[in-house]
Structure 1
Amino acid sequence: MQLTFDELGTPLRDTTFVIVDLETTGAPAGPDGITEIGAVKVRAGEVLGEFATLVDPGGPIPPQIVALTGITTAMVSSAPRIERALPAFLEFAAGSVIVAHNAGFDVGFLRAACQGHGYAWPRPPVVCTLRLARRVLSGQDIRSFRLGALAALFGSRTKPTHRALDDARATVDVLHALLERVGSVGVQSLEELLDYIPGVTPAQRRKRGMAAHLPQRPGVYLFKGPGDEVLYVGTARDLRRRVRQYFTGSDTRTRMREMVGLAERVEGIECSHALEAQVRELRLLAAHRPAYNRRSKNPRNAWWISLTDEPFPRLSVVRTPRDGALGPFNSQARAKSAADTLASAAGLRTCTLRIPAHGANAVPCVLAELGRCGAPCAGRQSVQEYVPAVGEVAGLVAGTSNTALHAARRHVDDLAEAQHFEQAARRRDELVTLLRGVERAHRLAALAGIRELVAAAPDGEGGWEFAVLRHARLASAGVARRGVPPMPVVEALVASAETVLPGPGPLHGATGEEAGVLLRWLTRPGVRLVRTATPWAEPVHGAGGWRPWLERAATATTLEALENTG
């Protein structure tokens, strides 16, 4: 099919590539685990800049990884953590095509780090030199497609050493050699290169024009099917470029190819900035539950811990919170673990067997009467004796008391002193789950209690991105570009913001997912509070004071995992 000039895209000579390589601890992709980032920025064969930094993964580096890379735990002890190194790399790579050898590995770690530390993954075009080499070269050219073998074949000026910057430099030479070969078969633009690597289906090629009307602005896009049903919802910093990638084969997921085959049109919703796009995506997923979005299978996957309404209440895991509930937790298993830990520490019953009460001093459970129950509540024979246990739970939820947390920690310490180390480790991990749930609950509830909060984040170009929040919901969003007075923009956004009335529950009607997105954005480096109707504060008896203990627990868990795998 003949392409229009617009569809021919960006010539490779005008494309900026950032060739990246990572070294890691050997653990699966997650928020942490990167030990070194090396990157080289090139355009038209010329090196524009280099980026290199060691990264502290927050735990020890396994001996086998030290032997492979030469990077020791001592070397990274004074290096920045990934939450500090990541923004610098994202700025270095902004607007470029990411290139890596076995790109799924490197991009997977970078994406997981962004998700784990509250940064939006920019979804750049990605070129994998491993896949490109397998497409270009045959078994007669080379037996192995490892970076070292390709570097030797093409006479790379830098030998790969399992250090990030050296491997990135070697990949630069491999990329240039491969681009020379694909040029001989007519691949001259970035779009043609992305098309060439995976082998695009004819159905994908025919639908390229579906992205032509979309703006080159941040926003949300919706693929719609024959019956105008929403098939898929996504976000993008550049709507046109992102949607085009679905027709070039850069997304190799089977379900995405199937979705593109069904799609009849693409609708774009322009947003002021990435935060607004994220929130709109969440709301659209909840409203339409598109068949091809994995997240739409359970758009409000939140669980809460709540006291039952009984004379001798117990903790129950529920989906619909009411006032006094603790959460949200992102899985039922985590909520159940936290509930059991809290019930044990506070002395609440965990059984469901009940006997009708005949007065204030009635025995709540036949098992307790017979002395056959080992639950913490077994010795409490009356409602009056049970009230303090309920009060401890209510105090923890409200942030006025953390007596139950200290009781749980003492239990862990007692088990360790008695040398019951496996039990102590299990109880420690259960307490970590509870503490993280308490911390999240208090931070989200504090945000949801604010009638109006206005915040600003630098846009990276001398301007500001604004968000007006009301009861942990995004009520308005806008930008003030460089040179534009910001406060008139703020006043206009506040005046036109959505009216939000507080609803029931700990989050005043907001969803935990949207409140979480807003909280991560607010706590990013550089974000400033413009004004707030009431002070934004967390409870003094919350989980904030437990962060040092949580860090030690996380280090211990990492060491145990390494010992088990070693």
Structure 2
Amino acid sequence: MAEQLTGVQGTLDDLGTPLSQCTFVIVDLETTGTRSDGAGITEIGAVKVRGGEVLGEFATLVNPGSPIPPFITLLTGITQAMVAPAPTIAAALPAFLEFAALDSGTVLVAHNAPFDVGFLKAACAEHGYRWPAPQVVDTVALARRLVTRDEVPNHKLATLAGFFGVPDQPTHRALDDARATVGVLHGLLERLGSFGVDTAEELRSFRSAPTAAQRRKRAIADGVPEAPGVYVFTDAKGDTLYVGKSTNLRRRVRSYFTGSEKRARIREMAALVEGVTPIVCGTGLEAEVRELRLIAERKPPYNRRSRNPERAPWLKLTREVFPRLSVVRTVRDDGAPYLGPFRSSREAELAREALHQVFRLRQCTRRIVPGRPTAPCVLAQLGRCGAPCAGGESPEEYAAHADTALAAMTADPAPVVERLSAQIAELAAELRYEEAAGVRDRLAAFVSAAARAQRLGALAAVPELVAAAPAPATDPARPGWEVHVIRHGRLAAGGLMRPGADPAEFVSALVRTAESVFPGPGPAPSATPGEMECVLRWLERPGVRLAEATGTWTCPVNGAGKYRHLTDLDRGAQAPAPHR
């Protein structure tokens, strides 16, 4: 594909809602004790705020249905007589949940949040209400990160309220304490702003203040556009340190230099970064592909994945008079079938063992010449090999084993699935679970690789596909259709067709300017398997339409994809019965 390829990854989470636009519900509870499984709630107080303005308040006493201990009355001033006419928690809880609207993206805030949230969750469970599981901010935990012991002796609510000059002082009554927590929250959010945390998502992931290196490099994001695409971090020499993608380049780049970035290796990288190159992109698929290609080309030290796709192992059935299974790192134009790619050599070995359990293929690596017999190995003595090396099988007799193995690898894996599934069941019935697990792992490795190779090979066989899909609805400012040209599994061109454009002219121009791609050997001859997987995921999305196609795009009707459920077997579980 030409260098001007652009795109955006549609699966990456955007960094979201500015704190000034977030709705916070600050809650405080008074209770009869400290354990939610034994004590009851006596009072609920809550304040709803957004952008520094109070939107509403909620307050009610609650009849806990049990006596209030004297020391609680002494602490809060809430007596048994005060709660006697109050509603029970069964009546007060739905009113609070309606006020808080926690299902609508509201952020729940409390001082020592585990205490208050624990009581609310227990009340919901007891009375049949679903807990909305909102984002929760604990002002105690946040204050410990932002306010040092040099500034305050402790992080109690009264201490922090005094430190931040909050006019509403806590009194151990729910609404008063909630109001005081509002002031503390605003003081903490002001401090977060100096650390570059200004969205709800950054607040959620905030763990500690950014390092000095992160703060110094924050200006690097100033010239980055707020657009989707790919970004490349470079050091003082211009060498690539890291490649990533985002739906909002500026926010994503900026997040690396704030307290929301908690990965140790990325914080280390921040000290080395001297520049960033943004690549504004048009479609999600193109961004995914560009990122993969840049990582494979430049091998950035701080990217952990996709750096060496060329080193992925494959399982090959060799082209010899007496073929054998060989784990290789390179797919050659030798007419041999290849299975994979595998994530590791260990997985490739497991798949090979699965085939060896079913088919009488030789496992030696020697070169066998018909008419020149040699001594057979122990596998021949065990009946697991026909000993072609010793003249035990002719080339024609041995070819029958190789042909059935070839069919299982490239078309119908049923013989392998049925044999190994039956063996798993037998071992499990005999309580030999560890052995059964080993067979299961071999079966899963084989089925997964066969399904992958068949999917990739089917797409690679198509000379050209032109497909289109509506642009993501999450981006109303960029309406239209994403159109891509795919040749032999490689993304050759892509673009965003705006409303009003002539579809025939747009597709024609895209096809004419698309990269020339030629067929080759193996399941992934013209692109890395990772790129082809991205293309396949996009093609399988709801709403994708094929505009043009040359050739045939089809997988074997009884192919390995039929058995993909076997790749997700739980450890120690028996394999499902094979399809017949």
TM over 0.5: yes
Q: Which residue of structure 1 lines up, in the alignment, with residue 421 of structure 2?
A: 409
Q: Which residue of structure 2 lines up, in the alignment, with residue 341 of structure 1?
A: 354
Q: Which residue of structure 1 lines up, in the alignment, with residue 93 of structure 2?
A: none
1:546/1:199 CA distance change after superposition, 3 Å: closer
**Shift in Å, 1:505:** 2.3
TM-score for both structures, normalised by structure 2: 0.65
**1:205-224 map, 5 Å:** 205-224=215-234
Alignment identity in percent?
Answer: 40
The alignment partner of 2:523 has SS state of coil
Distance in 1 between residues matched to 2:285 and 2:218, nearest whole Å: 28
> Unpaired runs of 5+ in structure 2?
1-15, 27-47, 56-99, 106-120, 158-169, 575-580
1:345/1:12 CA distance change after superposition, 3 Å: same
Match of 1:375 among 384, 399, 418: 384
Q: Do the aligned residues in 2 keep the contact of 1:100 with 1:129 (CA within 8 Å)?
A: no
The alignment partner of 1:262 has SS state of coil
Distance in 2 between residues matched to 1:538 and 1:326, nearest whole Å: 15
Q: Do the aligned residues in 2 keep the contact of 1:470 with 1:500 (CA within 8 Å)?
A: yes
Distance in 1 between residues matched to 2:50 and 2:180, nearest whole Å: 15
Letter in 1 for 2:520: G
- Higher relative contact order structure (alpha carbons within 8 Å, sequence separation ≥ 6): 2
Q: Do the aligned residues in 2 keep the contact of 1:12 with 1:188 (CA within 8 Å)?
A: no
Distance in 1 between residues matched to 2:243 and 2:138, nearest whole Å: 26
The alignment partner of 2:466 has SS state of strand
Q: Which residue of structure 2 lines up, in the alignment, with residue 512 of structure 1?
A: 529
Q: Do the aligned residues in 2 keep the contact of 1:99 with 1:129 (CA within 8 Å)?
A: no
Q: Do the aligned residues in 2 keep the contact of 1:400 with 1:542 (CA within 8 Å)?
A: yes
Distance in 2 between residues matched to 1:175 and 1:537, nearest whole Å: 62
Letter in 2 for 1:447: L
2:547 is aligned with 1:533:
no
2:486 is aligned with 1:498:
no
Letter in 2 for 1:180: H
Match of 2:238 among 204, 219, 228: 228
Q: Which residue of structure 2 lines up, in the alignment, with residue 141 of structure 1?
A: 155
Instruction: Kindly provide the CA deviation profile for residues 328-379 of structure 1, in whole angstroms up to 9, marking residues without a partner as x.
Output: 1111111110111012212212234x4754518x46734366x3x4534459
The alignment partner of 1:198 has SS state of coil
2:364 is aligned with 1:351:
yes
The alignment partner of 2:209 has SS state of coil
**1:341-490 map, 5 Å:** 341-352=354-365, 354=366, 357-359=369-371, 362=373, 365-367=376-378, 371=381, 373-377=382-386, 381-399=393-411, 402-416=414-428, 420-458=432-470, 459-460=472-473, 461=476, 463-482=480-499, 484=501, 486-490=503-507
1:42/1:472 CA distance change after superposition, 3 Å: farther
Q: Which residue of structure 2 lines up, in the alignment, with residue 250 of structure 1?
A: 260
Instruction: Kindly provide the CA deviation profile for residues 501-539 of structure 1, in whole angstroms up to 9, marking residues without a partner as x.
Output: 122322223211111121122223333333322332111
The alignment partner of 1:249 has SS state of coil
**Shift in Å, 1:292:** 1.6
**Shift in Å, 1:464:** 2.3
1:358/1:317 CA distance change after superposition, 3 Å: closer
Match of 1:12 among 8, 11, 19: 19
Q: Do the aligned residues in 2 keep the contact of 1:11 with 1:189 (CA within 8 Å)?
A: no
Instruction: Kindly provide the CA deviation profile for residues 433-480 of structure 1, in whole angstroms up to 9, marking residues without a partner as x.
Output: 211111111111111111111222332145322222111111111113
Identify the range of structure 1 (200-209 vs 177-186) with the bigger mean alpha-carbon deviation: 177-186
Instruction: Kindly provide the CA deviation profile for residues 225-278 of structure 1, in whole angstroms up to 9, marking residues without a partner as x.
Output: 111111111111111111111222321222222222222211111111222111
Distance in 2 between residues matched to 1:173 and 1:532, nearest whole Å: 64
Q: Do the aligned residues in 2 keep the contact of 1:136 with 1:181 (CA within 8 Å)?
A: no
Distance in 1 between residues matched to 2:179 and 2:195, nearest whole Å: 19
TM-score for both structures, normalised by structure 1: 0.66
1:185/1:547 CA distance change after superposition, 3 Å: closer
Count, aligned residues: 440
Instruction: Kindly provide the CA deviation profile for residues 10-60 of structure 1, in whole angstroms up to 9, marking residues without a partner as x.
Output: 9732357899xxxxxxxxxxxxxxxxxxxxx995476787269xxxxxxxx
Letter in 1 for 2:185: L
**Shift in Å, 1:209:** 2.6
Distance in 2 between residues matched to 1:302 and 1:13, nearest whole Å: 47
> Unpaired runs of 5+ in structure 1?
1-8, 20-40, 53-67, 76-88, 90-97, 102-126, 144-151, 158-171, 561-566
Q: Do the aligned residues in 2 keep the contact of 1:479 with 1:489 (CA within 8 Å)?
A: no
1:474/1:259 CA distance change after superposition, 3 Å: same
Distance in 2 between residues matched to 1:452 and 1:424, nearest whole Å: 44
1:263/1:359 CA distance change after superposition, 3 Å: same
Distance in 2 between residues matched to 1:448 and 1:17, nearest whole Å: 51
Q: Which residue of structure 2 lines up, in the alignment, with residue 240 of structure 1?
A: 250
**1:52-201 map, 5 Å:** 100-101=135-136, 132-136=142-146, 140-141=154-155, 179-183=185-189, 187=193, 191=197, 198-201=208-211
Distance in 2 between residues matched to 1:128 and 1:365, nearest whole Å: 72
Distance in 2 between residues matched to 1:128 and 1:504, nearest whole Å: 57
Q: Which residue of structure 1 lines up, in the alignment, with residue 571 of structure 2?
A: 557
Letter in 2 for 1:247: F
Distance in 2 between residues matched to 1:483 and 1:257, nearest whole Å: 46
2:103 is aligned with 1:50:
yes
Q: Do the aligned residues in 2 keep the contact of 1:154 with 1:177 (CA within 8 Å)?
A: no
Distance in 2 between residues matched to 1:271 and 1:356, nearest whole Å: 55
